[in-house]
């Protein structure tokens, strides 16, 4: 028995921690080439020039505390999404918003429901409250909404739908989500996690389907919270800034649970500038759509099963031990995410990079496949 085992909370004893990928550089630059990171769904182009300039300007005021309420950013987001200010809450990444929702709505004896093979932070956020997470089986690499509905009981308070889903990249269309939301009982809040929103919109347009009507639910008074982030298309993952859009009363309760000064002044300034840089957003989304096709074809030609994506990554079944496969790729200078923790031991998640990065990945994958 360890010294603190009986002193810490039950969730702290039983929770597993998030396992990030190893740092991109583990040796001096002159002994190890820089690793190409295609493992965390980051923007390969980084932040926009406008965001970088805004960050530099904000540095001079970092001796003062940031605006705790993120007033200017909230106002801009409210205008951007045509929703009342009271329905916007800015947090230190959308993962922080997940934590606030769970701590606000869950406790021991209650539960949340989602699908298996979905965003790992759902389990972490739920278990931190002492509540239970119910995970339903997938259907064809996507969510089985009927199974999720059937799993809801009187103790359920939250349903998480990652749309597109991480790590499978699969998407629910607007009609399916409409039907689902209409059938969810009134004591349950549906969290629509749209971290990859901009990428999904582009793919939906190409496929001639409607992706999302999520913001309509806010005007209808539905018990729905929509999550968005600046980590993906805007390239601000290192600054940790995201937000939730939801019922004003629920957002106010969540705000009470928020850490003081949790979103830095630099992050707020960068997010404001990033919203206005449509050229950067357009470049990122266009590259992603084009390279998803090239990368998907290239991996398929190696005999791997690639699931069509609506996000900025590909879910790829390599038909063998994914950890070993990812380790061999890393030896070639490319990092991808093995998905054994998600219950998919033969699958990897490959972030979509620049054309040059993707070509290096394909060349490396060919070497690995040839050596198998």
Domain limits for position 242: 49-276
* One domain for residues 120 and 175: yes
Domain edge (last residue) among 247, 276, 305: 276
Which CATH number do you get for residue 354?
3.90.1150.10
| DSSP-derived secondary structure letter, 4 | T
In a domain, 3, yes or no: no
What pTM does this model have?
0.92
In a domain, 115, yes or no: yes
| DSSP-derived secondary structure letter, 139 | B
Residue 292 and residue 89: Cα distance in Å, rounded?
Answer: 32
Domain edge (last residue) among 227, 250, 276: 276
* One domain for residues 145 and 266: yes
* One domain for residues 236 and 108: yes
* One domain for residues 67 and 206: yes
* One domain for residues 333 and 252: no
* One domain for residues 239 and 330: no
Domain edge (last residue) among 228, 250, 276: 276
Q: Which residues of the chain have pLDDT under 50?
A: 26-31
* One domain for residues 231 and 94: yes
Listing DSSP states for 208-240 in one string gives T-----HHHHHHTT-SEEEEEESSSTT--GGG-
* One domain for residues 256 and 338: no
| Burial class of 181 by CB neighbour count within 10 A (0 to 12, 13 to 18, 19+) | buried
* One domain for residues 208 and 289: no
Helix or strand (DSSP H, E) at 126: helix 120-127
Answer for the pair 129, 106: CB distance below 8 angstroms, yes or no.
yes
pLDDT tens digits for range 17-69: 555 665 555 444 444 568 999 999 999 999 999 999 999 999 999 999 999 99
pLDDT tens digits for range 314-339: 999 999 999 999 999 999 999 999 99
Q: What is the pLDDT of residue 210?
A: 97
In a domain, 1, yes or no: no
Task: Tally the domains of the chain.
Answer: 2
Q: What is the pLDDT of residue 27?
A: 41
In a domain, 39, yes or no: yes
* One domain for residues 247 and 322: no
* One domain for residues 110 and 151: yes
* One domain for residues 21 and 83: no
Answer for the pair 155, 111: CB distance below 8 angstroms, yes or no.
yes
């Amino acid at each position: 028995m360890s010294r603190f085992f009986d002193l810490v909370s039950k969730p702290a004893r039983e929770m597993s921690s998030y396992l990030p990928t190893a740092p991109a550089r583990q040796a001096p630059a002159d002994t190890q080439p820089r690793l190409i990171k295609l493992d965390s769904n980051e923007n390969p182009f980084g932040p926009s020039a406008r965001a970088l300039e805004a960050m530099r300007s904000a540095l001079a005021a970092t001796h003062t505390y940031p605006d705790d309420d993120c007033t200017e950013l909230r106002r801009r987001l409210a205008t951007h999404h045509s929703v009342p200010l009271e329905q916007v809450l800015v947090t230190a990444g959308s993962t922080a918003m997940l934590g606030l929702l769970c701590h606000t709505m869950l406790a021991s004896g209650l539960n949340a429901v989602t699908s298996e093979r979905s965003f790992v932070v759902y389990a972490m956020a739920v278990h931190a409250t002492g509540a239970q997470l119910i995970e339903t089986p997938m259907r064809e690499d996507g969510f089985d909404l009927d199974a999720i509905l059937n799993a809801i009981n009187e103790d359920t308070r939250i349903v998480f739908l990652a749309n597109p889903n991480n790590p499978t990249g699969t998407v629910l269309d607007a009609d399916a989500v409409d039907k689902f939301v209409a059938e969810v009982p009134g004591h349950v809040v549906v969290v629509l996690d749209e971290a990859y929103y901009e990428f999904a919109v582009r793919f939906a347009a190409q496929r001639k389907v409607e992706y999302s009507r999520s913001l309509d639910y806010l005007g209808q008074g539905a018990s729905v919270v929509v999550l968005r982030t600046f980590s993906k298309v805007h390239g601000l993952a290192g600054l940790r800034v995201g937000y939730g859009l939801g019922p004003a009363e629920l957002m106010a309760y969540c705000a009470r649970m928020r850490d003081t000064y949790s979103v830095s002044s630099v992050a707020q300034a960068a997010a404001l500038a990033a919203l206005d840089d449509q050229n950067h957003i357009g470049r990122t989304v266009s590259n992603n759509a084009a390279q998803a096709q090239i990368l998907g074809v290239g991996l398929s030609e190696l005999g791997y099963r690639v699931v069509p994506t609506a996000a900025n990554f590909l879910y790829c079944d390599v038909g063998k031990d994914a950890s070993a496969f990812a380790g061999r790729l890393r030896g070639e200078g490319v990092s991808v995410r093995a998905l054994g923790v998600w219950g998919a031991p033969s699958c990897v998640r490959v972030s979509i990079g620049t054309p040059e990065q993707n070509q290096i990945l394909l060349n490396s994958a060919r070497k690995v496949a040839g050596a198998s």
